Structure 1
Amino acid sequence: MNTYNISAASPRAKHVILIGLDGWGAYSVSKAEMPNVKKLMDDGSYTLKKRSVLPSSSAVNWASMFMGAGPELHGYTEWYSKTPELPSREVNKNGIFPTVFSLLHESDPKAEIGCIYEWETIRCLVDTFALNYDKHVSEAESNPAAAAQYAADYIKKAHPNLLAVIIDNPDHVGHATGHDTPEYYAVLKELDKYVGQIVNAVKEAGMLDETIFIVTADHGGINKGHGGKTMEEMETAFIISGKNIKKGHEITESMMQFDVASTIAHIFKLEQPQVWIGQPVLSAFEK
């Protein structure tokens, strides 16, 4: 089991659990039956106006969320980017634009870091050299509960300092049936149970008092697609809850996708590279 030591620059929490729901538009939050997610909102801070980078599609936005910068700098510009279409302005020793995973690993090689994902392209965006646990849930279509179960097992076994769990299904139903449809809301209801399962695993692992949860998305959608410039496609929720986070606080300042990485870096007191343009959402934190 990882024995992560608090450094002189004491982090705001020892553990961060990032739960990403692909294609989860902020417009849906008020209408969705998601009690576990809404409890995190009530117990923490949130905005429903975090904006995606353009295009408002998957790989470019997951990259921006992990890399603290937009496509102009990291170079991943399309929904299915596995390698940069533009030369990355800067790369680390592993040959990839600096990610929040690599920053934490370089700062503390003993930190336990994991990523569990249903869409295989995610592994091209996180810097797998920084991961202790790299899990592609290839059986997600036949077993939608698998990612949450892998997460729960990993949390209880390894007590990760940073874990990202990226679930793809809102995007799937959005393309197949449509966003803002009864089928879409049925999937969100089901995914909320998985969020609850992950939170319960943190409790069972004895980590709750030292954990910050983040629940967010890469983009929303309209009709059966995304990638455009409507607010339904571009606005996503950002919910942060846990140790040292204000309760019942609505974040009113503007927030962009790349601010997620900066906020996680702030939690761990990591030095942000100059090439990052993100800013931590400081108003969410207790003084």
Structure 2
Amino acid sequence: MKKLIIATGLLLGGFLAQAQVKGVKHVILIGMDGFGAYCFPHVDNPNMKQMMHDGAWTLKARSVLPSSSAVNWASMVMGAGPEIHGYTEWDSRKPELPSRELDQYGMFPSIYTLLREQKPKAEIGVIYSWDGIGYLFPKAAVNKDLGTHDNDSLATAASVAYIKEKKPDFLFIHFDEPDGTGHNIGHNIQPYFDQVAKNDVLLGKILQAVKDAGMWDNTIILLTADHGGIKKGHGGKTMEEMQIPWIIRGPGVAKNKEISSSVMTYDTAATLAWIFGLKTPQVWIGRPVKDAFK
């Protein structure tokens, strides 16, 4: 009986080891703040649309509630909603509710924790232009931690340099726009669409850096957002605020496929973990978006 159990364990271990998507060595997650999916028909964004053509996508992914920043950035990398991880406000710096579980860093377990524990030699980076991101990940778990204080251009330049120099296994890039434009001028109007077009140019520079670094053929790139917006705000229960784009391309990803299944922002962490072949904690409720893959 023991021999049978051991053999079964070895078979399961081999199966789990093969769960990583074949051919993937790097994953880059790009998040654009306040980027509502509703804007796609109105925007000149060729790089985003090329990603859609080359990969899988949905414009019906949903944020958690409230549809605001910190609570959703936390959910995106922590694989669970605010009821479990405890970050509940747009500017949460620590959980307002007790986190259901804590990792070795004293935080709710995130994709950074899983990578550091299960792939100790991984090169992990976080480059972000909204300082609030800095409270939502364990700094001791990453190799690169850089905030650029609302400067998306600087975040782009730093990301390009980091990609070329370190070829990170996992990199999260956060852009503060188009959220700033949405708050100061408004959503669903031409200046907002113009800002998304500018974000698309920055995205193009990231994509080119991946190519220049010789990583293109073994890198998955995932573009998404924390929430959308309405008028000059967000946090409510309208679809303009809740529906976000979710676009993925790279090895193993289906081509030019619209994802029909439900996608929640916490499914992003689960998908990243599945790509890397990581074991996820029981407290995560996110599910990998397997429909995006061949």
TM tier relative to shorter chain: over 0.9
Offset, 1:29: 1.3
CA contact (8 A) 2:63 2:264 kept: yes
**Does 2:186 correspond to 1:175?**
no
Alignment of 1:1-287 (within 5 A): 8-9=17-18, 11-12=20-21, 13-138=24-149, 140=151, 144-286=152-294
Question: Residues 83-142 of structure 1: CA distance to partner in whole angstroms, max 9, x if unpaired?
Answer: 0000000000100000001111111111000010011110111221111000001261xx
Give the alignment's TM-score, normalised by structure 1.
0.95
Q: Which residue identity does 2:146 align to in structure 1?
A: K
Paired with 1:93 and 1:102, the residues of 2 have a C-alpha distance of 8
CA distance 1:8–1:269, shift in 2 (3 Å): closer
Q: Which residue identity does 2:133 align to in structure 1?
A: I
Offset, 1:45: 0.2
Identity %: 53
Question: Which of the pair has more CA radius of gyration?
Answer: 2
Which is helix-richer, 1 or 2? 2
Paired with 2:227 and 2:106, the residues of 1 have a C-alpha distance of 27
Offset, 1:207: 0.6
1:3 maps to none
RMSD of Structure 2 on Structure 1 (CA): 1.1
Matched residue pairs, number?
277
- SS state at 1:169 partner: coil
Q: Which residue identity does 2:40 align to in structure 1?
A: V
Question: Residues 18-51 of structure 1: CA distance to partner in whole angstroms, max 9, x if unpaired?
Answer: 1100000000112111100110000000011111
Q: Which residue identity does 1:156 align to in structure 2?
A: K
Q: Structure 2: any 5+ residue segments left out of the alignment?
A: 1-15
Q: Structure 1: any 5+ residue segments left out of the alignment?
A: 1-6
